Structure formats: C-alpha cells, structure tokens
Amino acid sequence: MPPIGIHDIAFATTHYVLDLDELARYRRVDPAKYHLGLGQDTMSFPAVDEDIVTMAATAAAPILQRHGSDKLRTLLLATETGVDQSKAAALYLHPLLDLPSTTRIVELKQACYSGTAALQFAAGLISRDPTEQVLIIATDIARYDLDSPGEPTQGAAAVAMLVTAEPAMLQLDSPSGVYSDDVMDFWRPNHRTTALVDGKLSISTYLDATSRAWTDYRARGGRGLDDFRAFCYHLPYTAMARKAHDNLLRTVGVEWEPERVTAAIEDSTRYNRLVGNSYTASLYLGFISLLDHAPDLTGQPVAFFSYGSGCVCECFSGTVQPGYRQHLRTADNKERIAARTPISYFRYRAMHSDRARYPSNLTFDQDTGGPYRLTEIIDNKRTYQKV
C-alpha cells in the first residue's frame, strides 16, 4: 500500500472578530480569566451572510485552484452546525466550487470528532484505489448561550484537506487508538441553535478519553511519547492543550519540564487563540498553526488527539513530509486572521440573538467581505453566491 495522508490543507474563518477584552468588560470578568485561564484572546464571529457553507467554500477554493478536481472522487464534510437535517451541506458547494458531478458527497457528524472519522474513511478509500483523491472539509460555528460560561469559548472556522496517496505534507501512520462512550457532557438538541454543556464534566471526560485513546494507540503498536516533536490536541480553548498534555504525561507516568511541554504544544495553539473553538475544524486549524509557526518539521512525527463530546476520541500520528514548506500558505493565513473586522459587543449580541430565529423567508444584505455569501432563504431554500 502506498503512503497516504494530507497532501494540502487550507482554512477560512469569519468576517468579524470579537475582542475578548470587550466581552470581559461587559461581563465584568477579569480579562486574565480569558487570556490566561482559557488561553483565548479573540474569537471569530460570522457575518449575517456567512455560515458553514460559505466558510467551507472559502477554505476549499485554494486547494481546488492548486490541484484541480480531476482526481476528486469523494467530498466528506464534517460539521455539527448543519444547515439541514437531510441534505448534505457540501452539495451547496457544487455550483460554488464547480465540483465534478462524479463526486460522492456526504456529511458526517459526531461533535468535534467527525473530521477525524472523515480522515480515516478517506485513507480507507484511497488504499482501495490510490489514484482517487478525497477532499475533507471540517466547518463549524461554535455557539453557546449569551452570558453562559461557554460564551468566551465560541469561534468559527473551516479547514479543507486534500487526502491522497504519496502526500506532500503529512503521511499518516496506520495505528490509531480509539475510545468512545455515551456521556452527556455537551450536546445540541435539534430545536436549539446553541449547544448545551456541562463544562466541568466536559473537561474531565475529554481528559479521560484522551488518555484512554492513547492507551489503545500504544496497544496497537503506536509510537512512544518521546518519538514526537509536537502534539496537536482538539482545542475548545487553548489552555485545554496544556491540561491534556499534563494528563497524558501522568497517564504515561513521566514528568516533563514546563518548558518542554510548552515547546511540544504551543505552536499548534497560536491560530486557535485568535479564532476560538471551531469544533470539527479546531484540531486541524491547530495542525496548520503548527506547520506555519514551528521550525522545520521535516521527517518529524506529530501526535493528534481528536475529541468530540458525547463522546468519541481518537489518537493517531503522522510524519511531516520533506518539502512541505513549499506548499504552506503562511503569509495568507496570518493575513486572513489579521484582516477580520472588529465587531462591537452590542452588534455581536444582536446578531447572536437574530441567528436563533431564522424565518423561512429572508434576504440577506451583503455583510461579509469574503468570497462566498448566503444571499437568501426563500421557501426554506438556501441560495449562495460567489461574490
């Protein structure tokens, strides 16, 4: 079997950004709680005409521009912010991205985890026919109730990944460790636009699940802790990476100096600190952040911990490929985050509340500065446009 993995990767986020200093001021909270306690500085917030589809299109477009779509046979879209209970959101991408009609398209859901399920399914498809390529798009808007403890951990982003044989960026290892259980730590019933969460339970379940997935990964022949140059964790907020890594060290029964822990996780948290939680996209945004910020990673193994509440956790690994730096979009990525438009606290609150009551007929004024927008919902049918 040829090596299989991530050949190209790109992300998109929203038009707006809310400064957490502003949120702290109005919530009468010490801003240090957000900056140090949670490890978050700002959070992405969508314009009225942005959603998971517009972010998905924006993330995938540069990948399709670079590689074309001739070999594309499957598009897997992972989200927990679905716009329809039946139709896969990725079908709206057909006209926006000019996708071939010979593409198999499906949407996957399991909280923040389903992007990783997509990656494993893609590897399976490509091992059957290495000439096929699979496009994965993980796209989500993390939304909690206003004034709730989860509010400062909102955010939004999409990550698109082209998975192929002979990948240019990351070759996946085959062992993978999995843990799943039925836990009510975080969920969003069909009638709600915001998630419900038992915050403390969600943290302890995340920690327990990552250590159990690691134990399974090792039992199935995975690499040892010292083999890894870097660790990418699912990042609901960036301080979670340190909690998770300290917990992993306790699981393994070793002690690392705090500086060594920082060196192993920090580069993967830099974008997420500014974007916020992006659910399915979060782990992979962390990987892009690692590639864009770390010194040369050529030939280095990286460990990944994908956690989705409810819960499923998977630990897997891969090796960064020679020449990967030629394919990065580091300057564009930094510019995309820096170019977001600041939104005032009061406009943010008004838009947050409006999102909870979309009628079946609505036309949206142009609000986003991005390349794709939602123009209207008429008779419950959504229409998107390339700007």
**309 is a contact residue toward ligand HMG (CB under 6 A):** yes
365 contacts 376 by C-beta, under 8 angstroms: no
**32 is a contact residue toward ligand HMG (CB under 6 A):** yes
What is the DSSP code string of 177-240? EEEE----SEE--TT-SS-EE-HHHHHHHHHHHHHHHHHHHHHTTPPPGGG-SEEEE--SSTHH
Catalytic residue (choose from 7, 50, 80, 151): 80
Q: From residue 78, how far is each of 88, 109, 135, 165, 345 by CA, in Å?
A: 10, 6, 11, 21, 30
The helix (run of H) or strand (run of E) holding residue 153 is none
- Residue 313 annotated in active site: no
Residue whose entry in the numeric block shows the structure tokens 């609505």 = 362
Binding-site member from 7, 15, 212, 234 for ligand HMG (CB under 6 A): 234
Binding-site member from 177, 236, 276, 370 for ligand HMG (CB under 6 A): 236
Least distance (Å) between residue 373 CB and ligand HMG = 26
User: With CB under 6 A as the contact rule, which of the stretches 7-15, 97-105, 198-206, 218-226 interacts with ligand HMG?
Assistant: 198-206
Q: Which residue is nearest to ligand HMG (CB)?
A: 37
Dihedral class, residue 257 (left if φ above 0, else alpha if ψ from -120 to 50, else beta): beta
**304 is a contact residue toward ligand HMG (CB under 6 A):** no
Q: Where are the beta strands (DSSP E) in 244-355?
A: 301-308, 312-320, 341-342
**155 is a contact residue toward ligand HMG (CB under 6 A):** no
- Residue 257 annotated in active site: no
Least distance (Å) between residue 258 CB and ligand HMG = 14
Least distance (Å) between residue 310 CB and ligand HMG = 7
**30 is a contact residue toward ligand HMG (CB under 6 A):** yes
Q: Where are the beta strands (DSSP E) in the chain?
A: 4-12, 16-19, 42-45, 72-78, 104-108, 133-142, 155-165, 170-180, 186-187, 196-197, 230-233, 301-308, 312-320, 341-342, 362-363, 372-378, 381-386
Q: What is the maximal distance between C-alpha atoms in the chain? A: 59
Least distance (Å) between residue 279 CB and ligand HMG = 5
**57 is a contact residue toward ligand HMG (CB under 6 A):** no
**111 is a contact residue toward ligand HMG (CB under 6 A):** yes
User: With CB under 6 A as the contact rule, which of the stretches 25-33, 70-78, 91-99, 168-176 interacts with ligand HMG?
Assistant: 25-33
**Phi, then psi, of 207 in degrees rounded to 5:** -65, -45
**202 is a contact residue toward ligand HMG (CB under 6 A):** yes
Least distance (Å) between residue 356 CB and ligand HMG = 18
To the nearest 10 degrees (0 to 180), the angle between helices 282-293 and 330-338 is: 120
Least distance (Å) between residue 47 CB and ligand HMG = 23
Half-sphere exposure of 25 (CA within 13 A, CB side): 8
- Residue 112 annotated in active site: yes
Binding-site member from 60, 178, 197, 337 for ligand HMG (CB under 6 A): 197
The residues binding ligand HMG (CB under 6 A) are: 30, 32-33, 36-38, 80, 111-112, 149-150, 153, 186, 197, 199, 202-203, 206, 234, 236-237, 240, 277, 279, 307-309
Catalytic residue positions, numbered: 80, 112, 234
